[in-house]
């Protein structure tokens, strides 16, 4: 077992339990907990495989990871509430490990198939954040990774480093892995945000204006 398989194991556990906890927060039954946990752990990889031409059926060759995800979901379901509270305090760190491991894994998949750099970046991003997006959509939430946090950016940079062959050895990939985890945690600590523009003010003004006009007509 190489080091990236270990990282992938940690990421699988973190993502599966994350999906399970979201399902429980939304008051889903045991089936919903299993579905959200599995989707979070494997959804990004499935979408990546479809886009870069890897047979989707390769998922079924990952029997060890599937069993690991199911076991993690079962543990999440039976954990006492105080323990879940302790887990959620460290969830960000394990989530950062999962993001880094899966983004690098996705980028390497595409690079090994000699896809262009654009495909390498997309594969890294989808593998790193795809499961979380599907989880949030199934839970009826706005995807957090596209709204409030610098999250996908680190997956993009991981894919860029792999696509440009800057990170193409074990040592450089380990450095890249550590850098993604470090900057992910740094962005959480300092609450870094991407620039955004909201149209809510415009919508409020347009809704208030007709009301004012109606009052004047009276």
This prediction's pTM: 0.83
**Please, which pLDDT band fits residue 84 given cuts at 50, 70 and 90?**
confident
- Alpha carbons within 13 angstroms on the beta-carbon side of residue 105 total 26
Write down the H helix ranges in 79-199. 81-112, 117-138, 152-163, 170-189
Window from 10-14, 155-159, 176-180, 203-207 with minimum mean pLDDT: 203-207
CA–CA gap between residue 135 and residue 43 (Å, rounded): 9
Window from 24-33, 69-78, 175-184, 199-208 with minimum mean pLDDT: 199-208
Residue 77 has pLDDT above 90, yes or no: yes
């Amino acid at each position: 077992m190489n080091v990236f398989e270990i990282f992938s194991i940690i990421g699988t556990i973190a993502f599966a339990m994350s999906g399970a906890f979201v399902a429980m927060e939304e008051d889903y039954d045991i089936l919903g907990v299993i579905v959200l946990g599995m989707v979070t752990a494997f959804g990004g990889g499935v979408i990546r495989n479809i886009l870069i031409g890897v047979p989707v059926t390769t998922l079924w060759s990952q029997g060890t990871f599937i069993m690991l995800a199911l076991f993690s979901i079962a543990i999440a379901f039976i954990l006492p509430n105080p323990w879940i509270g302790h887990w959620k305090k460290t969830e960000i760190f394990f989530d950062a490990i999962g993001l880094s491991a899966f983004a690098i894994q996705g980028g390497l998949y595409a690079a090994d198939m000699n896809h262009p750099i654009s495909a390498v970046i997309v594969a890294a991003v989808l593998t790193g954040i795809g499961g979380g997006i599907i989880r949030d959509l199934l839970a009826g939430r706005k995807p957090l990774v596209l709204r409030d946090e610098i999250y996908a950016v680190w997956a993009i940079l991981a894919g860029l480093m792999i696509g440009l062959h800057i990170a193409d050895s074990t040592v450089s990939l380990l450095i890249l892995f550590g850098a993604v985890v470090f900057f992910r945690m740094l962005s959480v600590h300092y609450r870094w945000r991407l620039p955004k523009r909201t149209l809510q003010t415009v919508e409020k003004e347009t809704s208030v204006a007709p009301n004012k006009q109606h009052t004047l007509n009276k």
